[in-house]
Structure 1
Amino acid sequence: MKINGQYYDALIMSEWHDLIDITGAAAHSLLKSLSDDDISLLVDDFYAYMLDDDDARLFLSNQLVKDRLHATLLNWIRQVLNSSTADLAELIAEQRKVGNIHARIGIPIDLVARGARRVKQSLYSRLRREKMDPALCYDAMRFCSLAMDTAIEVMTTAYSRTHESTTKDQENYRLFSILDNVNVERERQLAALLNWENRFIYNVATGSPAVEIQELKESEFGLWFQHKGRHVFAQVDEVSEITALLGSTDEFIKTFTPDMIAIAEQRYVLLRTVRNRIMKLTSLLSSLFEELAKFENGKDPLTNLLNRRFIPTILRREIALAIRTNTSFVVAMLDIDYFKKINDKYGHDAGDAALKNIAAILYESVRSSDYVFRYGGEEFMLVFVEITENQANLIIDSIRAKIAGRPTYPTAGEKIDLTVSVGLCVFDGHPDYERLIRRADSALYEAKQNGRNRAETYHPKG
């Protein structure tokens, strides 16, 4: 049962307030007295423990992440320990934000729980070393443990919702990448079913020997479904129905001997039954492809480039691969200069022609391993995999030259010269793909500020 978001927040806030109220003033005072140095030791222990784990090392070993997360984790511990005087609504909202970030980056939720458990264990050891009153130690630790658990529960709730959406997009991209042209594939397989049925009717009508009647599972459609279709549509209910129908249809046909088929009534039963089963298969197959259509085909209808819905899926995968293989990649944001003026002066048809012109240049200029997206409006995004900054800039310079040398002609007597501004950012090991896009966008803004028709690469200040 899903719980209403406002009701859930009110429930969590009420329970957190109850925890604050049942905890003694001495315990709250003790927790507030912990210095940043004390908490920093907890964070250091957290890192020493977590970096022994291969999965955790993927997200924590980068120095930029380590430096940033050290301060972030210290602040989080401080906020939870001092939550008795905090704005709980604001604190809960912050936990939800953290959960969304964890899902976006792809940090497994079990690592978060394990890390928190280590922090609690270290804190308990720290308090016990003070040889304080056991009752006070218990009161303080109960508050710490339950407050951290509550904070992580809120994170997990947000994480689950974001992760569910992410998983759906990943599955949609898997389907899209396997069946690049859904409509063509659908028509091909429906035609294959019809062809098998026509051959079957002909063989039965002409009294062909049983050995000449091809089994449905060995037909073009049957082979496609066995080796590709059932994997493309994995976990879809119709798959099991189609599988069962393929097998049962072949078995049903085998029950009819030549003598039975020679009798008109029996022949009618055979043909009618097979016809009904083919109609059922056609209906099920159409339903499967309609499901894909609901996910869209993954491409922008005007430019035929990938649309932006799959950017998170692709960038998460490239980030994980780059970290695992110690390679780099580059994200480039590209914007058509003065595009609004084109629309205003020549009309939207001319603007669409310019977009398609540039999309074609981008597609033909990158390697097959790279990605080109229509990001929105007149903006495009490119992902160059396993490449250096200099190599990416050479490709961008070539693209800019091609665009400048290939104007758009809205009418026979008119010519529109096109230029683009580009911002690039090299992956630096940080696992958050939105950070990478923001930095490339910042470089694009700089290119526009510096006069347009140029490319700029993001470099950290200082």
Structure 2
Amino acid sequence: MQQISNEELSQEWTSLVERFSPQAASILQETAKEKSADLARHFYAYMLSDSHSASFLSHEQVKTRLSKSMQQWVITVFTPIAQIDDLQTVIDLQRKIGEVHARIELPVSLVLRGSRVLKERLRHLLALRGLSDELYRETICLGSDIIDLAIEIICFAFSQSHDRNSRAEEAYRLFSVSQNIGTEKERQRGALLDWENQLMFDLAMGNTGDNLPKLASSEFGLWFRHKASHAFQSSPESESILEYIRQIDTALQDIPDGQQPGSDHGLSVLREIRQQTRAIKFLLDTLFEQANDLEAGRDVLTRLLNRKFLPVVMSKEILYSRQSSNTFGVLAIDVDHFKTINDRYGHDAGDSILQQVATLLAGNTRGGDYAFRLGGEEFLVVLVDINPEKGIIAAEKLRESVARERFKLPQGGDLKVTISIGMAVHNGHPDYEKLLQQADQALYQAKATGRNRSVLYK
């Protein structure tokens, strides 16, 4: 999609406004300043009454912030050209709005509906000003044309950003289970076997219902629900495995208290679970045979994910969180005093330290979690299905594992290294950038208060 320059859009905006009288522009500006709160209130009242749009706008923080932002947007776009210091800044604002809409996956249809609601309310407010018919029609046309042009820029930026995200999404879909097909295959088969053995042990001990290990929350279940099912989302094998996981956990939940595995009902349930587990193993082998080992999207030095797939992963986890009652968290991680390591021991030593830190991060997270290297000494871990309490425990586990390690230097000898961690847990906000900013703020606090510590954003 070809980029339209800000200069071209500025010329188009100026040409549009110059077709109307200064009086119409002045009336529009006065109405915007006096009635911006009314326009925003009417806009969001309508949008929240729609079940589709309400799912994007119902979060309290969103409503509070967006109402103020909408008021400012109305005042900005209806400011006469002669009073705008930099029209390109106004156009950049429309682009930014479109990019945010793409990031939170707000449908374009809702944006267009909102535009229609805004224009209808503007017509009503202008009708109350007692203008002549001719001036009323001219002001309405000017206001509608400005809204249309602003929304056009927003939607164009949305399309560009969405196209980029879609290409990354498709690349990630193919990539996400290809981290070394042979190793990952054996790891997940082993995780499935571990769950099965744990289930047999718990049943033998007389545990039932909620005391039995659920397949969905096991190491294998987390990996499959958050990674593999996304990678193979269009395959019938993936859908079958998800259904088997659901059926197995439902069957476990239905085992009554006091039910012994040796009873007829207990044996019947066990046989069914064993058959379903074997079916999962067969389908899993089929999926791995279909996978290709793609290297794009992996950090060359550490072999962790790089920034390319971060938007895809974050958007996917926010969607999953919105569709379920589960939350997820992010850990922003910095290697402490890394510049000193480079200066004292050389860049080869620094690279070696980063590789060893990456190995510890990958080895101390669950199969469903994601570990990224963002650049330099910055890492990010996405923890799936986790709350703040468990999340900070996981962060401390990572921090302590690094602090205990003796890091090998290429020239011989070893070195103690520490990391600082900032953690934030998704609170329902649809824009994942807010979550990343919160984790960064917590990381800054961890570094400012002495480093080698984990801080939870509050």
After TM superposition, the score normalised by the length of structure 2 is 0.71
Partner residue in 2 for 1:33: 30
8 Å CA contact 1:421–1:447 kept in 2: the answer is yes
DSSP 3-state at the match of 2:334: strand
SS of equivalent residue, structure 1 residue 34: helix
Q: State the secondary structure of the residue aligned to 2:407.
A: coil
Note if 1:65 corresponds to 2:62: yes
- Whether the aligned pair in 2 keeps the contact of 1:12 and 1:150 (CA below 8 Å) is no
The reply on whether 1:356 has 2:355 as its aligned counterpart is yes
User: Who is 1:255 aligned against?
Assistant: none
The DSSP-based 3-state class of the residue aligned with 1:383 is strand
The answer for the alignment partner of 2:89 in structure 1 is: 90
2:31–2:126 contact (8 Å) kept in structure 1? no
Structure-2 separation of matches of 1:425 and 1:312 = 17
Q: Name the structure 2 match of 1:145.
A: 144
Residue identity opposite 2:408 in structure 1: Y
Q: Counterpart amino acid of 1:371?
A: Y
Pairwise CA distance, 1:327:
3.3
Residues in 1 aligned to 2:307 and 2:13: alpha-carbon distance in whole angstroms: 40
- After superposition, the Cα gap between the structure-2 partners of 1:83 and 1:328, relative to the gap in structure 1 and judged at 3 Å, is farther
Q: CA deviation at 1:229?
A: 10
Equivalent of 1:18, from 15, 19, 23?
15
CA RMSD of aligned residues (A): 2.8
Q: What do the CA deviations read for 1:301-351 (whole angstroms, capped 9, x no partner)?
A: 332222221111000111122233243221111111122222333333433
CA-CA distance at 1:297 after TM superposition: 3.1
CA 1:433–1:231 in structure 2 vs 1: closer, same or farther (change >3 Å)?
A: closer
Cross-structure match for 1:127:
126
Aligned to 2:343: 344
Measured against aligned partners, the alpha-carbon deviations of 1:56-114 in whole angstroms (never above 9, x if no partner) come to 12221111011110011111111222234324232222212222222222222221111
Counterpart mapping for 1:244-323 below 5 A: 296-323=295-322
Note the C-alpha offset of 1:360: 2.2
Q: Letter of the aligned partner of 1:146 in structure 2?
A: D
Where in structure 2 are there 5+ consecutive unaligned residues? 185-230, 236-290
Answer yes or no: is the 8 Å Cα contact 1:421–1:452 preserved in 2: yes
Paired positions, count: 355
Q: 1:42 aligns with which of 39, 43, 65?
A: 39
Change (3 A) 1:229 1:345: same
Residue 413 of structure 2 aligns to a residue whose secondary structure is coil
Instruction: State the Cα distance separating 1:163 from its structure 2 match.
Output: 1.4
- Per the alignment, residue 408 of structure 1 pairs with 407
Larger radius of gyration: 1
Pair 1:49–1:345, CA change in 2 (3 A): same
Higher alpha-carbon deviation: 312-321 or 35-44: 35-44
Q: 1:3 to 1:313 in 2, by over 3 A?
A: closer
The corresponding residue for 2:155 is 156
Q: 1:326 to 1:30 in 2, by over 3 A?
A: farther
Question: In the alignment, is residue 385 of structure 1 matched against residue 351 of structure 2?
Answer: no
Q: Which residue of the partner structure matches residue 241 of structure 2?
A: none
Stretch of structure 1 that moved more, 74-83 or 140-149: 74-83
CA distance in structure 1 between the aligned counterparts of 2:13 and 2:297, rounded to whole angstroms: 44
Distance 2:233 2:54 in 1: 36
Q: Is the 8 A contact 1:58 1:324 kept in 2?
A: no
Quick one: distance in 1 between partners of 2:44 and 2:232?
Answer: 46
Equivalent-residue separation in structure 2 for 1:403 and 1:231 (angstroms): 39
Q: SS in structure 2 opposite 1:306? A: coil
Q: What is the alpha-carbon distance in structure 2 between the residues aligned to residue 401 and residue 155 of structure 1?
A: 46
Matched residue, 1:188: none
**Partner of 1:80 in structure 2?**
77
Q: Equivalences for 1:210-249 in 2 at 5 Å?
A: none
Other structure's SS at 2:15 match: helix
The one-letter code sitting in structure 2 at the alignment partner of 1:42 is L
The question of whether the paired residues in 1 share the 8 Å contact of 2:348 and 2:410 is answered with: no
**Would you say the 8 A contact 2:29–2:80 is kept in 1?**
no
**Shift in CA distance, 369/183, structure 1 to aligned 2, threshold 3 Å:** closer
Describe the SS at the equivalent of 1:333. strand
Which letter maps to 1:24?
Answer: S
Q: Deviations over 1:250-288 (max 9, x none)?
A: xxxxxxxxxxxxxxxxxxxxxxxxxxxxxxxxxxxxxx9
Q: Alpha-carbon deviation of 1:402? A: 1.5
Identity %: 37
Alpha-carbon contact 1:337-1:418 (below 8 Å) kept: yes
Partner Cα distance (1:406, 1:364) in 2: 13
Which residue of the partner structure matches residue 430 of structure 1?
A: 429
Structure 1, residues 370-394: CA drift from partner, whole Å, max 9, x if none? 1111121222101112222121111
Which amino acid in structure 2 is aligned with residue 138 of structure 1?
Answer: R
What is the DSSP-based 3-state SS (H/G/I as helix, E as strand, rest coil) of the residue aligned with 1:374? strand
Structure 1 residues 67 and 4, CA, compared in 2 at 3 Å: closer, same or farther? closer
Question: Structure 2: how far apart are the matches of 1:4 and 1:409?
Answer: 49
1:412 Cα offset (Å): 9.0
Compared with structure 1, are the counterparts of its residues 230 and 370 closer, same or farther at alpha carbon in structure 2 (3 Å cutoff)? closer
Show structure 1 runs of 5+ residues with no match: 186-227, 233-287
Which moved further from structure 2: 350-359 or 375-384?
350-359
Q: What is the deviation of 1:415?
A: 2.0
* Structure 2 counterparts to residues 174-185 of structure 1, below 5 A: 174-181=173-180
The corresponding residue for 2:107 is: 108
Q: Offset of 1:120 from its aligned partner?
A: 0.3
Asked if the contact 2:399/2:418 (under 8 Å) is kept, the reply is: yes
Contact 1:182 1:297 in 2 (8 A): no
Shift of 1:178: 4.8
Equivalent position amino acid for 1:118 in 2: V
Q: Is the alpha carbon distance of 1:424 and 1:230 closer, same or farther for their aligned partners in structure 2, counting shifts above 3 Å?
A: closer
CA contact (8 A) 2:334 2:421 kept: yes
8 Å CA contact 2:32–2:75 kept in 1: the answer is no
Cα distance in 2 for residues equivalent to 1:4 and 1:355: 38
